[in-house]
Amino acid sequence: MLSCSKSKAEKQATTSGKDTSVIPVTVKPQTDVEIAKTQGFFLNDWAAKTFTTPTTADVTKPAASATVTINVDYSNVLAKVSKYLFGNNTNPYMGQIVTEPTLINNLKALSPNILRFPGGNISSVYFWDGKIPADAPATLYDSDGNSTTADYWLGNNTAGWTLSLDNYYNTLQQTNSQGIITINYSYARYGLSAHPDQVAAHLAAEWVRHDKGRTKYWEIGNENNGPWQAGWKIDLANNKDAQPQIITGELYGKHFKVFADSMRKAATETGATIKIGAQLIQTNPVNSWNVVDKTWNSGLFASAGDYPDFYIVHDYYTAQTNLDAATILNSAVSESKIMMDWMNTTTQQGGVALKPIALTEWNIFATGSKQMVSNIAGIHATMVLGELIKDQFGMASRWDLANGYANGDDMGMFSSGDEPDNATKWNARPAFYYMYYFQKYFGDKMVGSSVTGSNDILSYASSFSSGQAGAVIVNKGTSSQVINVNMQNFAPGARYYYYTLTGGTDNGEFSRKVYINGNGPTSVSGGPANYQQLAASSATVNGGIKVSIPPRSVVFLVVDGKK
């Protein structure tokens, strides 16, 4: 099982029939790779990771012959792992969070490391200081281009159904998370003053001053290229600085510089260091239905140049239709690469430097069969994390912590307590458990791995600075597989440990349940409440690293290093 060159003594031991698995192996040492431009300063907080051996339950290795081999090259470092890839989105309609101990405890266990706020479309009508400005219009255009009564959100709202700015900060503190804040760019579009861009930029700068260095990362707006966003279209009769009725990337870039100048000045005054991101279209928009998309990136680059510190993209991976599981799972690999390839291409075409890439919203759009709340969504989340590391994204935050059930078309990681057959508030959906185990069982560096024997098996391998090797193994197919894991250039210790996560038999291929080493929920959805206390399956390395992986499941595996 172990790939290494044998010494004379080892060869003699082999020919004499002795077990050579305990003989020290010769390994090629790791060589760190250069930090990618697309990761950049998001790796400034990188830290060595120590694996903590869990409680274990001995298991018998599969008796059947392996159908698949995974070769892991411990010496081949592909990328350092940004801790900011495991983030999530808060939102102003999910409640005060800090008043919900069940949710807080799950967030502490999940350790997202970064939480976005206020995020989503609400950021375009959000006034952090709790005051609706006198120059905010009474009406705004909706996504259909109709004038409707404006519904502004305020940061000082302490009602139980919403999330105040103070409690967002409290949530960050209690969960040991960094923040990423989306400021209200749209106010620069619909504001009624003589210079709405300057007024909106000043308000953003005041937030930076109020923040006093608590937040490193800031976004200028949210999806402002889209007609669903306040400010995409404005009333020219009320505009006083000759803006176009429909936004353009060039205008956004021009305004970006105004915001960035004001916010950076405010940060300097408070002794803080901040990074400010600009929005890009995540894939080639040549066939986009939205004409604004087609020139958004080029217009932004032309007017803003290298002003942004990082670039922001959003991606919901699938079409908004009733897709099957195979299509959903395949999108994790293809769409992640398409995004990063386009980031390289679009910046090159625009004549600007490639910057760190932050995927500040991601999930699946598939609807109609409870796909979003299913075990398949959890497997998809696992694959996305692996692909984002491989493609060297700097930061990512999944959308979102809580939403509304909508017959299962709910992107929330936690239930709001509105499932018709399960009213348990903050019940964790399958995606939570997959992302929890991924972070626990993935090291601080991704290393190379390859799979032979099946196109349905994917491997994301890692190393821990404490000396262990790991492999996250995904079976996106519908048949069980027996897998040999071959660790090259790695001196193994005595044992390996793993958890197997799989779905149930409810709801066809979109089970709302997840089982962890055979332990499932006590209700109709979610996973086991005692997930933190579950024993890992464990076996000895002697004789090979071998596991069985069920259909549509994930194995999170770590191998001891020799001490």
Tell me the per-residue pLDDT of 225-243, one tens digit each, with 9 for 90 and over: 999 999 999 999 999 999 9
Half-sphere exposure of 309 (CA within 13 A, CB side): 19
Read off the pLDDT band of 14 (50, 70, 90).
very low
In the chain, the amino acid numbered 239 is: N
Checking if the pLDDT of 20 tops 90, the result is no
Phi, psi angle pair for 448, to nearest 5°: -70, 145
pLDDT of residue 17: 38
Separation of CA 244 from chain center: 35
HEC string for 493-523: EEEEEEEEEEECCCCCCCCCEEEECCECCCC
pLDDT digits (tens, 9 = 90+) for 80-118: 999 999 999 999 999 999 999 999 999 999 999 999 999
- The three-state secondary structure class of 388 is helix
pLDDT digits (tens, 9 = 90+) for 524-543: 999 999 999 999 999 999 99
Phi, psi angle pair for 457, to nearest 5°: -100, 130
Q: For the packed helices 430-441 and 375-390, what is the interaxial angle rounded to 10 degrees?
A: 30
- Give CA–CA dist 44/47, Å, rounded: 9
- Burial code of 92-117, b = ≥16 C-beta within 10 A, e = fewer? bbbbbbbebeebbebbeebebbbbbb
In the chain, the amino acid numbered 184 is: N
Going by C-beta distance under 8 Å and a sequence separation of 6 or more, which residues neighbour residue 17? none
Which pTM value belongs to this model? 0.95
Read off the pLDDT band of 25 (50, 70, 90).
low
In the chain, the amino acid numbered 361 is: E
Average pLDDT over residues 363-377: 98
Residues 473 and 553 sit within 8 Å (Cβ to Cβ): no
Q: What domains appear along the chain, each with residue ranges and CATH number?
A: 22-81+319-563 (2.60.40.1180), 90-308 (no CATH)
- Give CA–CA dist 349/29, Å, rounded: 39
Q: Nearest Cα to 126, choosing from 219, 217, 195, 214?
A: 219
Read off the pLDDT band of 32 (50, 70, 90).
confident
How big, in percent rounded to 5, are the helix, strand and coil portions of the chain?
30, 25, 45
Read off the pLDDT band of 463 (50, 70, 90).
very high
